[in-house]
Structure 1
Amino acid sequence: MDKFRTVLNIANKQTNLGFGLVAMLTAGGEQIFSSAVFRCPCNELNFLYGMVFMLVPALVLLLLGYILSKKTWKTLTGLCQNRAKLCGWRRLTATGTALFQISITALVAPSSWIAVALLNGNYYECAITGTNVSTFNKHLCGEMSLVQCQMELYKFPCRTGSRVGQADREDVLLTLRAQSQILGWLVISSVMLINLLLICVARCASPISYLQLKFWRAYAQEEGNMFDSYITKHAKELAERNLKSFFKQTPPENIITPSNKDWKKISSLYKFSTKDHYYSTLHWYVENCHETDKEMMRMTSVKSSEPADDNPAVLHFVDDGVISL
């Protein structure tokens, strides 16, 4: 319970409620792994086993954070097809900034896992007892050889089957647990400090005021939610139109759908400008797409006149019906 109180305090300090929720879910997963799955082998595999349980789940959570981020796929989609446009410094800076923001968000879960695992201490105990015995040999080994001493140290996490006295074993394990918890608090404090510094730098470099930034976030959230709802509704209407035309063998109704060029325009990365006051690429597109008759003609029927060879490779994932990010 103490671990959950610690993580809950961390979550309450997060500026983003989602970060706190991720941290608490990660803590719960670590508790399950530690109590139900983790069993130190108490032999020469101690170090490898302990480090795998501490670091591999963190790596999985990091990769999962990248996979579940819509911004990852928005940044990478079409990147290979547009290599010629990546040479400009502005483009590189925008892409690098987006990847940095994605990484900061993706690191919440793995850092939470490592911090809670270190506060627990089981993984650290198992791993360190599988390393060089020189730290404890003067206190434990006595007349035993280093090999024998190492074999005894392997058995410490199991707390049975060792010829070393129980008091000596507990002293070593308490020292290892203390070291683990110190490292855990250092990880927590480092994450919080880096988070604070990043927020301070972002606020100092912000071209807009705090209240306008709050409005921008609210707008972006509402636009994203409504966009997902609207594209689902529009896709349903288009699918229903096609099925009705196929089964009834009637000419299809005219449904207006943006062209590929229009989709690319609203999918590109956008950097806020104090001159234009647009809050997203969609906002920019709506304000500028009707300036000329040429732009109006781009709102064409679903029967696009563009060549099929220009379709991006990501459409294959849509056809497979597996990846919906």
Structure 2
Amino acid sequence: MARIPCKDTPSSILAYKDEVIRRLQYESQFIGWILIAVVASAVFLLKCLQHCCSPLSFHQEEYWGQYRSCEKELFNRTAEVHAKVLAASNVKHFFGFVALNKEEKEMVTEYPVEEVQSSPQWNEITGVYLYRENKGFPLYSRLHKWAKKVIGNGTDAESKEMALLAV
């Protein structure tokens, strides 16, 4: 029926038109539900395999998650303060003064910022991170790795991180 143009459809076939449309709808819904079931099963299996193939124990993985969450929260709060103080410094340099409220004035005096981090430092702590250890000690994030002065050693794992960014 799909090969016959609508205006040239024989009347004997028109009687089956509703049945064909209904069957196509059933088939498309069936295929859709099968696709949803396959994707859900694949996600479930991947989550199970992720825990089975992880080099971390259950408790260490829980700690890693806690660490990353705390690091992200502290980094974001500190970055916000740093950006605000640096912006206030730049505005003051441009205008000769800056209009700050009491809380911001205290923040500017408490946390003096003179320089921003260079691009190589940002590049070292930014990006996808795959868990690894260095001399038996865990490195929980790229920032942790940078703080321990392990970054930039040209390991294969680091090139994997960068390859993931390139994809």
TM-score (norm 2): 0.64
Match of 1:281 in 2: 142
In structure 2, relative to structure 1, the CA distance for the partners of 1:238 and 1:186 (3 Å cut) is: same
Match of 1:182 in 2: 30
> Would you say 1:263 and 2:122 are equivalent positions?
yes
Could you list the structure 1 runs, at least 4 aligned residues long, displaced by more than 6 angstroms after superposition.
none
In structure 2, relative to structure 1, the CA distance for the partners of 1:187 and 1:287 (3 Å cut) is: same
> Would you say 1:225 and 2:73 are equivalent positions?
yes
1:164 alignment partner, one of 1, 9, 14: 14
In structure 2, relative to structure 1, the CA distance for the partners of 1:233 and 1:270 (3 Å cut) is: same
In structure 2, relative to structure 1, the CA distance for the partners of 1:284 and 1:244 (3 Å cut) is: same
> Would you say 1:215 and 2:70 are equivalent positions?
no
Match of 1:157 in 2: none
Structure 2 contact 131–140 (Cα < 8 Å) conserved: yes
> Would you say 1:236 and 2:84 are equivalent positions?
yes
Deviation at 1:223, TM superposition (A): 2.4
Q: Percent identity?
A: 28
Deviation at 1:152, TM superposition (A): 5.6
Deviation at 1:283, TM superposition (A): 1.2
- The 3-state SS of whatever aligns with 2:14 is coil
What are the within-5 Å matches in structure 2 for residues 74-93 of structure 1?
none
Deviation at 1:265, TM superposition (A): 1.4
Unaligned residue ranges in structure 1 (runs of 5+): 1-128, 134-148, 155-162, 290-325
Deviation at 1:214, TM superposition (A): 2.5
Greater RCO (CA < 8 Å, at least 6 residues apart) = 1
Structure 1 contact 270–280 (Cα < 8 Å) conserved: yes
Whole-Å separation in 1 of the counterparts to 2:52 and 2:66 = 21
In structure 2, relative to structure 1, the CA distance for the partners of 1:153 and 1:258 (3 Å cut) is: farther
Deviation at 1:254, TM superposition (A): 5.3
- The 3-state SS of whatever aligns with 2:79 is helix
TM-score (norm 1): 0.36
Whole-Å separation in 2 of the counterparts to 1:230 and 1:207 = 31
> Would you say 1:151 and 2:11 are equivalent positions?
no
Structure 1 contact 152–164 (Cα < 8 Å) conserved: no
Q: For this pair of structures, how many residues does the alignment match?
A: 131
> Would you say 1:248 and 2:96 are equivalent positions?
yes
